[in-house]
Structure 1
Amino acid sequence: MKKVINYINGRPIRITLVMCCLALASCSKFLDETPKGSITPQSFYKTANDLQLAETALALQFNLAFNQVTAPYYAGDDIAAKRNGNKIDFSDFDVFNANSSNSRMTTWWNAFYGTIKSANSLLANYNNATEATADQKNNAGGYAYFMRAISYFYLTRTWGEVPMPVDNSINDNRPNAKVADLYNLIVGDLQKAETMLPDHWTGPAKQNGVDVLPTKGSAKALLANVYLTMAGWPLKQADKYSLAAAKAKEVIDNKATWGYTLLTNFPDLWKFSNRFNTEAVYACYFNKTTPNATWGNGNMMAPNPYAPDYEEGGWEDGFGEISFFNRFPAGPRKDATYQKDYFVKNDPANVVDWQHTLQKHPYFLKYREDDQFNWSNHKAGDWWSSATSFVIRYSEVLLTYAEAQAMSAGPDANAYLAINQVRQRAGLTPLPEGLSQTDFRNAVVAERGWEFAGEFGIRWFDLVRTETVQQANSLRDAGEVALINHPSDAGHTYYWAPIPFVK
């Protein structure tokens, strides 16, 4: 465990970086004090198996971020929380009242810095694996670059200027890096990753015909999203639109190489039996039945967090915002995103709609199904699951291309084709022809909101980069908890979360 002291506005902030255990099977023995030898970088990074164990540890570390509800993104207009009990930390972001002690935020921060620590260790040592092949070493290094890049991408979009360790040396006075420097590292890491990662993995890194670790295609898709974000606030580098379009087009034109497809039916994405599917460009996969399972093996996003408490015994960590729900176009996508019928006390004979639930909000349906969920009475069989958490879906690649192409070259036929594929699946008509550049961009951003409602900050990040946080919250329904503070699109207040204080 390592602590880095960082100073924000003259106040010391401690950041705890946690390294997960290298082998899952060893976790149950983690507290065994009987000395049986020592694993060091010099003795460990030797074989292909060592690299595979390090890759597994890195995956588990990143999974810690994506197995739980995360507070900072409640500032978006797609999700809200009740303002009582242990949901206050979620609600504080929803009403723009969060501070550095928000515990629901701190777990997200620690998970990413833990991933970065693990990635830095692998990057410093993967070339030392003399008993591994050149490809095995190259793939391990590419994976570490990808994971470090995506972790910093989440960190800077959420908190802005943050510490940027690129090694595991101890520095108690590490300064915050500028946003531009963070993006330079992210882009550089992803450019390395897209050359070093394989088109496909073998062995345990491939399950049910799907790559569970990122591939070259994953790196290109993430890089396209990074460029799109750099074109917006705070960097506002408009030249990055053309780079985003070109990189997304690489993924679209070569989707057969990596096996990416847009699933025909949106609801199929959320079926537990379909948790390995070809729309996943990169996802977090879980298996809670693994012997000696750790937090990284189980997913707490399903089935309880977004389920109603009084009616169906859920945790009520969050629900859909009313105004956003009302603007959401009707069709199969909306039906699969939000729950329609609620069984009071899990009684299928006592059905109410969302307006008659205790909280009077629509709840998200896409996270409900797991291996033990009972659809006959809406009762959960367990508190955590092996459900997949999507990080990048192929539909996002299409929408990234549509927006970036329109902003760099105008809304041409290819841009329309990309967004209309997503709209068609959602049961919507094609966008009208002849939209202006701005109107087309706004239509794509709205489409992204419907497509990814409630999914790990995607909506919130879109509002921030397009400088529309205040505008979106001006549509807030009277049925929501009133805002305590008010964001400003002109001054960008409340655009970044407060740096957490971690003891």
Structure 2
Amino acid sequence: MKLHKIAPLLLLLFTACSKDFLKEDPRSNLTPDNFYKTSDDLNMAAIGLYTQLNGAFNQSAGFSTLWGGDDITVARAGNKISYSDFDTYQANSSNDRMTNWWSYLYSTIKSANSLINNYQNATGATEDARNQAAGQAYFFRALSYFFLTRTWGPVPLITDNKVDYTRTKAAPSDIYTLIVADLQKAETMLPDGWDGTKKQSGVDIPPTRGSAKALLANVYLTMAGWPLKQTDKYALAAAKAKEVIDNKATWGYDLQTNFADLWKKTGKFNHETVFGCYYNVNVSGWAWENYNMLTPNAYAPDDEGGWGDGYAEINFYKKFPAGPRKDATYQMVYFLNNDPNNAVDWTKVQHKHPYFFKFRDDDAFNPTNHVNNNWIGSHTVPIIRYAEVLLTYAEAQAMSASADATAYAAINLVRKRAGLSDLVAGLSQSAFRDSVIAERGWEFAGVEPAARWYDLIRTETVKKANSDRDASEEPLKNIPDDATHTFYWAPIPIGDQQLNSNL
């Protein structure tokens, strides 16, 4: 879309995509003293945030840290070994894939810090313009730290842009304190809606007040689990999610009627995406962060000319309830060598695993023969979906009070769309929670930011989930431990460890 036509100036100012965060990398003569003056300056700075976040979520690399879940696996060969290292619990600090998230998320934080620490200097802008710019920065910083601490645990907590190679890692509790504070600010500073190019097909592209509330609900839910185990946060998560549900019309949120429509190229702008990363392959010139590389090749099978970055674990697939959601999540028919006359099921493809169909349908994908005519696309990556808000409410309400009618109503909305009957009534608190966790696994299976991996971590069930692994899967090199939490967190990238011995 047009919003993503990032100017070269912004790329120079704000991107540090392939560099270690702690390295100095001066890009221009512009400084905070001479830049943050007008509304245009603030808008340019905000757009720079999207550049970096788009770079984090437009390729498989950073997602590799989520391969430890029981929903996705990959062949241990060639350039897939770095993914397989997380899948089989042998990743080390030299893993080249994970640094994509580490670098881009800290780069986003770096730009957010600059905006937060300087937006008040934009005296040529209105107060609303200053607040809206800062609200976006607080949201992006919170989102970035949320992914960082769930993935790496204790990480440097940086709120300035000073070069300091002696920073220590902050405890997750301190990181969550900042995340909550940032989102509470974003709630008050962001608008309920945007206009102009910031709204496409009736959908808000930047985060809104509703986006901040939805993210905060998920943060509270995570804080109630491991490692913080602050169970008082269940009530806060339920209350915040309910705000979003009760006021969904304000922000235009709702479930898509058909789950499959979320993953069609025609569903690029949809009202289920509470916040997402948007891409446009038709932007002229080369701008890496404008293009989505999750589609159409990344999860296509080798048999159809794809890259095979990951595919379903067999036992998870077998437990996945049949219905329209499963049919849209996985590829059901495969054309060997792209020949429709040689159609087979997943048991006949090279790696004998079901492949995910999410992200496949894009402008470059030919549904008649499954040929991918480009290795980049424009598919939206939903960071937060309204379905997650509903399931967050259901779990948090049950755990803070009881699995009442409102909790059942929330999960049953998701189940009904999936073609499932209502959840059995009268479940105990723990049984209801387990049902919600299972539902989340099916709803967000594969490469979605609302990842199965994070649910396994917060519920301390990583080992338990991976104990049900089909004998044909790549054997685990190490066994995670749900009591000691070994292999729960990714190792700090070696590049930053070499710069800072405190990491």
TM-score where L is the length of structure 1: 0.93
C-alpha contact (below 8 Å) 1:411/1:437 kept by paired residues? yes
CA shift, 1:292, in A, is: 2.8
Is the aligned partner of 1:265 residue 2:258?
yes
**Counterpart residue number, 1:61:** 52
Q: How many residues align?
A: 478
Paired AA for residue 203 in structure 2: V
**Counterpart residue number, 1:362:** 354
Paired AA for residue 426 in structure 1: A
C-alpha contact (below 8 Å) 2:383/2:450 kept by paired residues? no
Paired AA for residue 101 in structure 2: W
**Counterpart residue number, 1:436:** 428
Alignment RMSD (CA, Å):
1.7
**1:229-256 CA deviation, whole Å, 9 max, x = no partner?**
0000000011000000000000000000
CA distance in 2, matches of 1:187, 1:292: 38
CA distance in 2, matches of 1:406, 1:450: 20
CA shift, 1:201, in A, is: 1.3
CA shift, 1:456, in A, is: 3.0
Is the aligned partner of 1:401 residue 2:393?
yes
2:486 to 467, 484, 493: 493
Secondary structure of residue in 1 paired with 2:112: helix
C-alpha contact (below 8 Å) 1:28/1:292 kept by paired residues? no
**Counterpart residue number, 2:142:** 149
CA shift, 1:348, in A, is: 0.6
CA shift, 1:479, in A, is: 1.4
Secondary structure of residue in 2 paired with 1:281: strand
CA shift, 1:473, in A, is: 0.4
C-alpha contact (below 8 Å) 1:89/1:102 kept by paired residues? yes
Is the aligned partner of 1:378 residue 2:361?
no
**Counterpart residue number, 1:40:** 31
Change (3 A) 1:433 1:457: closer
C-alpha contact (below 8 Å) 1:24/1:293 kept by paired residues? no
CA shift, 1:26, in A, is: 3.6
Change (3 A) 1:403 1:457: closer
CA distance in 2, matches of 1:23, 1:147: 18
Paired AA for residue 7 in structure 2: L
**Counterpart residue number, 2:196:** 203
CA distance in 2, matches of 1:372, 1:23: 23
C-alpha contact (below 8 Å) 2:388/2:450 kept by paired residues? no
Q: How does 1:62-461 map to 2 (within 5 A)?
A: 62-69=53-60, 70-309=63-302, 311-454=303-446, 455-456=448-449, 458-461=451-454
CA distance in 1, matches of 2:461, 2:229: 14
**1:250-302 CA deviation, whole Å, 9 max, x = no partner?**
00000000000111100000111110000000000011222334111000010
CA distance in 2, matches of 1:473, 1:384: 32
**Runs of at least 4 residues off by over 6 Å:** 27-30
**1:336-356 CA deviation, whole Å, 9 max, x = no partner?**
000010001111111111011
C-alpha contact (below 8 Å) 1:98/1:498 kept by paired residues? yes
Secondary structure of residue in 1 paired with 2:383: strand
1:52 to 37, 43, 54: 43
CA shift, 1:203, in A, is: 2.2
C-alpha contact (below 8 Å) 2:391/2:436 kept by paired residues? yes
Secondary structure of residue in 1 paired with 2:276: strand
CA shift, 1:434, in A, is: 0.4
**1:42-70 CA deviation, whole Å, 9 max, x = no partner?**
22111111111111111011111100112
**1:146-203 CA deviation, whole Å, 9 max, x = no partner?**
0000000000000000001101011110010011000000000000000100101122
Secondary structure of residue in 1 paired with 2:340: coil
Secondary structure of residue in 1 paired with 2:269: coil
**1:451-498 CA deviation, whole Å, 9 max, x = no partner?**
000113610000000000000001011111010100011111111111
**Counterpart residue number, 2:25:** none
Paired AA for residue 131 in structure 2: N
C-alpha contact (below 8 Å) 1:199/1:257 kept by paired residues? yes
CA distance in 1, matches of 2:220, 2:214: 10
CA shift, 1:38, in A, is: 3.4
List alignment gaps of at least 5 residues for structure 2.
14-27, 497-503
Paired AA for residue 363 in structure 1: Y
CA distance in 2, matches of 1:359, 1:451: 24
Paired AA for residue 118 in structure 2: N
C-alpha contact (below 8 Å) 1:283/1:390 kept by paired residues? yes
**1:130-159 CA deviation, whole Å, 9 max, x = no partner?**
221111110000100000000000000000
CA distance in 2, matches of 1:226, 1:502: 29
C-alpha contact (below 8 Å) 1:197/1:215 kept by paired residues? yes
C-alpha contact (below 8 Å) 2:297/2:307 kept by paired residues? yes
CA distance in 2, matches of 1:319, 1:416: 31
CA distance in 2, matches of 1:423, 1:502: 44
Paired AA for residue 338 in structure 1: Y
**Counterpart residue number, 1:34:** none
CA distance in 2, matches of 1:81, 1:385: 22
C-alpha contact (below 8 Å) 1:106/1:502 kept by paired residues? no
CA distance in 1, matches of 2:426, 2:284: 57
Secondary structure of residue in 2 paired with 1:75: coil
CA distance in 2, matches of 1:393, 1:423: 15
C-alpha contact (below 8 Å) 1:341/1:352 kept by paired residues? yes
CA shift, 1:204, in A, is: 2.0
CA distance in 1, matches of 2:480, 2:324: 33
CA shift, 1:122, in A, is: 0.7
CA distance in 1, matches of 2:11, 2:258: 41
Change (3 A) 1:338 1:22: closer
CA distance in 2, matches of 1:300, 1:24: 21
Change (3 A) 1:98 1:350: same
CA distance in 2, matches of 1:206, 1:385: 21
CA distance in 1, matches of 2:77, 2:450: 22
Q: Which moved more, 1:480-489 or 1:122-131?
A: 122-131
Change (3 A) 1:292 1:40: farther
Change (3 A) 1:87 1:136: same
C-alpha contact (below 8 Å) 2:328/2:357 kept by paired residues? yes
Change (3 A) 1:452 1:29: closer
